[in-house]
Amino acid sequence: MSGKEGAGGFKKRKHDNFPHGHRREEKDNINPSTVFMSFKAFQLELDTRHDKYERLVKLSRDITIESKRTIFLLHRITSAPNGDEILMESEAKLDTVRQKIKQVAQELMGDDMYQFHRAISPGLQEYVEAVSFQYFIKTRTLVSIEEINKQLIFEAEDKEEETKPASDCLNSQSHIWCLKVTPVDYLLGVADLTGELMRMCISSVGNGDIDTPFELSQFLRQIYDGFSYIGNTGPYEVSKKLYTLKQSLAKVENACYTLKVRGSEIPKHMLADVFSSKTEIIEQEDGLP
């Protein structure tokens, strides 16, 4: 298939054109052959599949964006006195995200989730990150994967939805859609969470909050231990995140160290270098997937 061969073939074909075109036309007259018919069917099948994939990618992007906004909102909590209000607002935001996930679940009804996993995985990870961040702020613990999945079981509320997915009704659990976050998506989401926690730690230091950094370093250490326990049994992406996680942990531990040594009188400018070396990591992790 070299260029030379191609050029030669072209020349030859020019001569050959006439008898060839003739023959092909003849064939076309005999066609709609079985081959033609079956490829028509393949066309339909492939197009349907690609369309569905695109719809899921779009939903996934929406989920990602909305989850990111929730995370930004939650970061405001360290400086604001009205913590409860922000939590309420984030809950409302997460509800809208869950509505999107419900659409994903409806889209995937009767399909193998893993077939389209690549389309929705980024969105789900971001969602896990947002949910676990909110959960941590509320309870200071790590949300479990069961807890997350429990929130992703949807029931049809109004009649409109009951009539739309008519084929779904044939399924035994009539109007229930559910989506399960895979363990790997969960792990990757939690790994992203640590970056947010590190950010929260630094900003709380900036606000003169001395307790939160210690709590955070404690919590981050637990997560880090957990990831080390998994080590390389997990997939490649997980071990890749482990490196960033280690860096986040180091920053938080250093911040705690500085706090301990300097006591509560630490001036803000002392944290300047902690901040500056931090930004590169934050940028790295915040890049939209």
Partner 1 sequence: MSVSEMFITLQGVLTADQDIREEIRKVVQTMEQTAREILTVLQGVHQGSGFQDIPKKCQKAREHFGTVRAQLASLKMKFPADQYYRFHEHWRFVLQRLVFLATFVVYLETETLVTREAVTEILGIEAEREKGFHLDIEDYLSGVLTLASELSRLAVNSVTAGDYSRPLRISAFINELDSGFRLLNLKNDSLRKRYDGLKYDVKKIEEVVYDLSIRGLNKEATDGAGGEK
| Residues in touch with partner 1 (CB under 8 A) | 1, 6, 9, 12-13, 15-16, 19-20, 23-24, 27-28, 31, 33-36, 38-40, 42-43, 45-47, 49-50, 112-115, 117, 141-142, 144-145, 183-184, 186-187, 219, 222-223, 225-227, 229-230, 233-234
Which CB sits closer to partner 1, 54 or 273?
54
- To partner 1, the closest distance from the beta carbon of 38 in angstroms equals 6
Which CB sits closer to partner 1, 158 or 229?
229
Residues 113/77, Cβ–Cβ less than 8 Å? no
Which CB sits closer to partner 1, 135 or 275?
135
Residues 125/109, Cβ–Cβ less than 8 Å? no
Which CB sits closer to partner 1, 32 or 267?
32
d(CA 257, CA 263): 10
Pick from 268, 269, 261, 229: which is nearest to 245 by CA?
229
Q: What is the DSSP string of 152-172?
A: TEEE--SHHHHHSSGGGGGSS
- To partner 1, the closest distance from the beta carbon of 45 in angstroms equals 6
Residue 177 in tokens = 């859609």
CA trace torsion 85, 88, 93, 98 (10° rounding): 170
Which CB sits closer to partner 1, 141 or 284?
141
- To partner 1, the closest distance from the beta carbon of 281 in angstroms equals 22
- To partner 1, the closest distance from the beta carbon of 15 in angstroms equals 7
d(CA 91, CA 86): 8
- To partner 1, the closest distance from the beta carbon of 108 in angstroms equals 11
Q: How far is CA 257 from CA 193, 252, 263, 281, in A?
A: 22, 9, 10, 20
- To partner 1, the closest distance from the beta carbon of 128 in angstroms equals 13
Which CB sits closer to partner 1, 96 or 222?
222
Cβ-proximal residues to 217 (8 Å cutoff; 6+ apart), any chain: 201, 249, 252, 253, 255, 256
- H or E element that contains 178: strand 176-178
Residues 124/63, Cβ–Cβ less than 8 Å? yes
Which CB sits closer to partner 1, 59 or 108?
108
Which CB sits closer to partner 1, 148 or 152?
148
Burial class (CB in 10 A: 0-12, 13-18, 19+), 90: buried
- To partner 1, the closest distance from the beta carbon of 246 in angstroms equals 16
- To partner 1, the closest distance from the beta carbon of 69 in angstroms equals 27
